[in-house]
Amino acid sequence: MLQMLLERRGASPRPWRIASSRHPRFRAIALPALFLIVLASAGFTRTMTADGAGREQALQALSAGGHVLLLRHSSTVGRDDDLVVPADCATQRNLSDPGRDEARRVGELLREHGVRLSKVVSSQYCRCKETAAIVGGGAFETQPYLNERKMHVTLVEQLIGNFEKDERLLRPARDMIASWHGAGTMLLVSHAPNIAGLTFEDLEPAEGMVLKPDLDAPLGFTVVGKFRLDP
């Protein structure tokens, strides 16, 4: 349905790429397309997570490889300073002991289901790096475009917000997801605002969303399902 709406408006099936265009018709095409995504995605992603694959099916998709696990960092303690220095953990919220336990349990859950992590990428923030290290149990890389950002994610914010700025911030992560074709799973550990900006979905700490890369999908991927730890 979302694809059909975009085609009827004459928009690209990959509107996240339009945001980088300097074509004079940018606002006439890209902004309506992005607006349609906002309207459709509210129901689109909810339908996919509620009526699509459940927790076990989402984990099975990960074990099959070729998917992306978008994970919000685990629970934290403290608060961020007004000026956060990503390399200085003293300026930011960090994982609590329960948060570290959550990360261990996520890693165990993935291993129990035979999920092979071929690539692990984290925000530069300490809470994400520690989550990635515990879940992945090995080496990982960091990318600044996964760092926490203020995004325009509500309908009102999307209507009055800066589409170009949001998409410039999101585009590297969106491109990485859309182009993933590894044999295993790619794990991305990021923050709530970034995840909401990418997927129009909210995730709880240590909650994961399974994405299937698709260059022809409006967002660069389709949502397979979500999973969270048992209480």
Give residue 140's pLDDT band: very low, low, confident or very high (50, 70, 90): very high
Assign 169 a pLDDT band (cuts: 50, 70, 90): confident
Distance CA 150, CA 75 (A): 19
Q: What is the pLDDT of residues 15-41, one digit of tens each?
A: 545 444 444 444 444 444 554 454 444
The mean pLDDT value of the chain amounts to 80
Give me the residue label for tokens 């999920």. Answer: 115
Q: Which two tokens stand for residue 220?
A: 């660069």
> What is the percent of the chain with per-residue pLDDT over 70, rounded to a whole number?
70
pLDDT band for position 146 (cuts 50, 70, 90): very high
Reference 13, options 231, 225, 221; nearest CA is 221
Q: What pTM, to 2 d.p., does this model score?
A: 0.77
Tokens of 127: 């809470």
Residue 160's pLDDT is 52
Cα distances (Å, whole numbers) of residue 44 to 8, 52, 201: 18, 11, 10
Average of pLDDT values for 177-187? 95
**Residues 98-124, mean pLDDT to the nearest whole number:** 97
CATH architecture classification, 2-227: 3-Layer(aba) Sandwich (3.40)
Instruction: Enumerate the domain spans of the chain.
Output: 2-227
Residue 149: predicted pLDDT: 82
Q: What percent of the chain has pLDDT over 90?
A: 58
> From CA 13, how far away is CA 140, in angstroms rounded?
32
